[in-house]
Each structure stands twice: as structure tokens, then as C-alpha cells.
Amino acid sequence: MENLEEKKSLNFIEQIIEEDLKEGLSADQLKFRFPPEPNGYLHIGHAKAFGLNFGLGEKYNAPVVLRFDDTNPSKEEQEYVDAIKYDLSWMGLKWAEERYSSDYFQQLYDWAVLLIKKGKAYVDSQSSEDMAEQKGTPTKPGRNSPYRDRTVEENLDLFNKMKQGEFKEGEHILRAKIDMTHVNMLMRDPIMYRVMHKAHHRTGNNWCIYPMYDWAHGESDYIEQISHSLCSLEFEPHRELYDWFLDQVYDQNTRPKQREFSRLNLNYTVMSKRKLMQLVEENLVGGWDDPRMPTISGLRRRGYTPASIHKFIVTAGVSKREQVIDVALLESCIRADLNKSTTRIMAVLDPLKLVITNYPEGETEIVMADNNPEDENAGQREMIFSREIYIEKADFIEECPSKVFKLGIGKEVRLKHGYIIKGEEVVRDAAGNIIEVKCSYDKKSKSGSGSEESQRKVKGTLHWVSASHHVTAQVNVYDRLFTVEAPDENKEVDFKTLINPASLTVLNDCKIELALKDAKPQERYQFQRLGYFCVDDDSTSEQLIFNRTATLKDFWAKKN
């Protein structure tokens, strides 16, 4: 009843929309679009764009068009279309229409003919070198092409022949006739069409002329009646041309408005499609979906949830400043999500055998483990405790200082959900390596028994798994892909030389609690005290494979 709704601050795009609404744009005219080029996989940088557009669609209850910007058949493929759609669906996004710039090739052609007739476009027949030379520089005006004043009839004829395939690539192009001395270089008679004798993934061989971005994009927005066309900052100078092209065909329908926001960058990774493509093609990673990649598919395989990615981009915000966001924010988003939702599991990645000498041989017992202390409805599960168990090698230090939360000779520690044990003796192999530790246990200290002994305070609680009741699995331990914050900062240094050699460590003898023996790909768990892990897509019941999504926060590890 009362309007107690807090005033949430609007980002600058939302402010523009609110203003447009105030000035007469009706709410049912609002329409947005997400226009990926199908020449690569979606990455976390794109997430900002689709998050913004679909977010606005949701906020204003307006349709969002998924439009593939497929005007360049030499780079674009169906594989990418499929991957992009899969990623967006996985993110839970629903588009009102699925469109392709190539759907509009005929309309775009007809409009181009109209421009020729109006004397606003002409066919140029020079080499690209000559044209580039005439174009001038940002500080020097350009010069007119010798073909600039061809007659309308000649232009119409030539353009038609371009379309009919009578020319080779590069022989002729269609240009808008604007102003070769314009201060904005994009306005110096920009190219509208080039000849390309290439099959297109949708239109096949129907066309051998293809429209350029500037010509196709704004007009596509207009055809679809997009109200706000949001793109990244580097398109800012294109706006003037966007508006000029729109002026040529505008007929009182909703006029799209281009506005620009900054791209999202992440530290310790690279974000350009070209560089990501290099990593894939040179086999420096396992593919576009390698869990170290900042792609949506990589994050998915790494164990990130759609909710965590969404939270991340919302937290990052929208502005016009070049942002380099700390991966720590991404990690904090996935931890926050997984902390609430994942079942806690005992997993020993680097096993050390422990023999509890005063525990009866051949005997086992069941202990109860909480599934998730953050979720009171998560319940409990059974674990088997026995005389021989594994703990993490790093959790045993022969002479362990009392303030360190680990097992040592003569030092007590608690086995989570089990008993309090004390280190008694180390067993070494011929080379002197510790291969086993003999311990004793306090029979009365069983967790959950309520006994006085069970409630003793001991420095340290370890995770463990029974030596004869577990599954052996492979665990891929991932770390950041690059050793430096900005791998592509220095143009003298090849970013590929900065790859973190420890970005992937494969562990093959990991002992996992029996509860996970039938774990399926994409399932996520917290391995107690270690971090969050998910089942890899290649995992089978014969060979379980887990990927480390993120570590737990660990102040102790940081200090050491």
C-alpha cells in the first residue's frame, strides 16, 4: 500500500530511458536487442552486454531480440550461432525473437538503391590503397574520389552488376556520399557494400555483395523497431553515422537511439576474441570451454552457476569508464552462491595413510555428517569410519607447533564428524619419506555423542576418508590463466608467454567419500576445507573427474 520502496539508483542507461519515457516515448515502444557476431564464443565481457539488455527487458517488461550480426560470411559460422544460443539459454535468458542481420539483406539492398537514387551513394572503383590514401587522417581532411560524381544511372547499373556477380572482389564497392573533409573519419564516404564471393551460413550463395556493419546495424535496429541500441564505447564515433543512415530511411516509426557503455575487463585474463581464439588454436588450452577460459562455456565447465555470473555483472555495474574488475569479485560471487547450496563432502586430494592403532582391527562404524551447515533442511548422510584412513599430506607436520591447526606427533586434532586423534609415530620408506602415521584415538570423543570428551576444544579439525571405503578420482586443480594482472598491457610482450604454468594441476590419486561414486557432470560440491568442485563433462562412473571451481577463502594459506 505505502510506497516504501527504496529508491534504487539507476545506471546512466536507465536514466536515459526514464527520461525518454518522461518525454513521451510510450513504455510499449521499449525494445532491446543483443547483437553478437557469430564468429566466436560468448565470454564474460559479453555477459555485461546481454545482462544489460535482457535486464532492461525484464525491468521494463519489454521484448529483447537476439540478433546475430552476420554480415561477414568469411568469419561467421553456424557452430558459433549454436554455441551462443546454448550459452544464453543456459544463463536462463529468453529472447522474444531470433533474428539475423542476413534476414534483412533484401531490404538493405532496396534501401541502398534508394540512396543511390537520392544521390546519397555511389559506386567507387578504386583500390583499397587509393581509397585509404584519399581518406586523410584524423587531423587531415580527405579528398574526393574521382568516381564520386558518377551519374545515378551509372551507379544503379554498376551496383546491380555487383549484385549479379559480374565483378571480382575488390573491383567495386558502394559508398555513402557524405563529406570527405568531415572531422569524423567515419563520415568520409563510408563503405556500405563490398563484393564477396563467399557462401553465407544462412543465405548460401544468394548474395555476393554484403553490407558493412554501419549500414546494416542501425537499419536492422530500425526494422526491428529497437528503441535503445546499446553498444560498447568504441562505437561512440559511429553514432553520427548511425544517425545519418537512419535519417535516410526514417519514416516516423520508433527511432532507435544508440548509446554506448564501457566494456568489462577482468584482470589475470585476456578478453579479446582474437586472443582467446589463439589460445584455442595453438592448443594452449583445451578448447573454448577449457575451465580456465573466461568464456561462458569455460565458466560453466569450471562450475560457475548462471546466478553467480548474473550477480557478478550486476555488481560490476554499467558506466562509461573503462573497467578492469578484479577476478576476486567473480570468485566471491561464486563462493557466495555455492556456500549456500552445495553439499559438503570429504575429499583427500593428496593422501597420507593414518593407522589408528587402538581402533579394533576389521571393525567399521557409521558416523553422521551434516550435508550443509548453511541449510538446515539439507539433512545428514552416513560416512564409514575405520582403523585406516587418509588425511591430506599437508595436514601432518611431524613437529607441529601448537598454534597450527594440524596433526603432529604428540599433538591432537579432531577428525570432522569422527574422533579426536593423537599422532604417535611416523613410518618411513627407504628414502626417508613419511608414508604412514600411527595414531591413537580417544574412544569417548565421538562427534555428536554428546560426551564431555567429544566437546573438548582441540586446535584443528581435519577432513578424512576411510582407506577402504572411498572412490579414487581425478581432480583438476585450476588457478588463474596468467601470472600477471594485465597480460596484454605491454605490446612488446607476447601475452602467451605469460601463461601461468600452474594454471592446471592434474591430481590422479584423490580419495573421495563414497557418497560421490555416482556423481554426474555439472554437479557441484564443497570439498570440506578445500574449496568448491564440480564434476567435469568428461567424467564417468569408471573415471570420476572433478574440476576445482574456487578455493575456500584461506587466510592461513595466504600467510604462508
Partner RNA sequence: UGUCCCAUGGUGUAAUGGUAACACUCCGGUUUUUGGUACCGUCAUUCAAGGUUCGAAUCCUUGUGGGACAACCA
Binding of RNA by 131 (CB under 7 A): yes
Burial (0-12, 13-18, 19+ Cβ within 10 Å), 461: middle
Binding of RNA by 326 (CB under 7 A): yes
Binding of RNA by 320 (CB under 7 A): yes
Binding of RNA by 15 (CB under 7 A): yes
Rounded to a whole number of angstroms, the minimum distance from the CB of residue 546 to RNA is 16
Beta carbons within 8 Å of 399's beta carbon, 6+ residues apart: 408, 409
Cβ closest to RNA, residue 117 vs residue 456: 456
Ranges within 387-406 binding RNA (CB under 7 A): 403-406
Stretch that binds RNA, among 43-51, 326-334, 429-437, 504-512 (CB under 7 A): 326-334
Rounded to a whole number of angstroms, the minimum distance from the CB of residue 50 to RNA is 14
Binding of RNA by 425 (CB under 7 A): no
Ranges within 28-57 binding RNA (CB under 7 A): 35, 37
Rounded to a whole number of angstroms, the minimum distance from the CB of residue 431 to RNA is 27
The answer to whether 319 and 325 have CB atoms below 8 angstroms apart is no
Ranges within 63-102 binding RNA (CB under 7 A): 69, 71-72, 74-75
Beta carbons within 8 Å of 221's beta carbon, 6+ residues apart: 33, 229, 256, 258
Q: How many residues bind RNA (CB under 7 A)?
A: 94
Going from the C-alpha of 364 to that of each of 174, 200, 450, 468, 471, the distances in angstroms are 82, 66, 20, 10, 17
DSSP 152: H
- Residue 180 CB neighbours (<10 A): 18
Cβ closest to RNA, residue 125 vs residue 537: 125
Binding of RNA by 329 (CB under 7 A): yes
Which of 31, 460, 503, 535 is close enough to bind RNA by CB under 7 A? 460
Which of 86, 113, 147, 213 is close enough to bind RNA by CB under 7 A? 213
Residue 271's closest CA among 537, 488, 558, 529?
A: 488
List the catalytic residues: 37, 263, 273
Which of 417, 470, 524, 548 is close enough to bind RNA by CB under 7 A? 417
The answer to whether 34 and 65 have CB atoms below 8 angstroms apart is yes
Binding of RNA by 552 (CB under 7 A): yes
Cα 391 to Cα 352: distance, rounded to the nearest angstrom: 5
Cα 387 to Cα 439: distance, rounded to the nearest angstrom: 10
The answer to whether 413 and 459 have CB atoms below 8 angstroms apart is yes
Binding of RNA by 448 (CB under 7 A): yes
Stretch that binds RNA, among 197-205, 242-250, 378-386, 409-417 (CB under 7 A): 409-417
Stretch that binds RNA, among 20-28, 46-54, 115-123, 227-235 (CB under 7 A): 227-235
Give percent helix, percent strand, percent coil of the chain, each to the nearest 5. Answer: 30, 25, 45
Rounded to a whole number of angstroms, the minimum distance from the CB of residue 543 to RNA is 26
Q: Which helix (H) or strand (E) segment is 386 a member of?
A: strand 380-386
Return phi, psi of residue 214, to 5°: -60, -35
Which of 217, 302, 411, 470 is close enough to bind RNA by CB under 7 A? 217
Ranges within 135-154 binding RNA (CB under 7 A): 135, 137-139
Unique residue bearing C-alpha cell 535503445:
228
Rounded to a whole number of angstroms, the minimum distance from the CB of residue 217 to RNA is 7
Cβ closest to RNA, residue 81 vs residue 290: 81
Going from the C-alpha of 442 to that of each of 326, 386, 405, 446, the distances in angstroms are 46, 14, 18, 8
Stretch that binds RNA, among 210-218, 297-305, 383-391, 503-511 (CB under 7 A): 210-218
- Residue 246 CB neighbours (<10 A): 17
Binding of RNA by 554 (CB under 7 A): yes
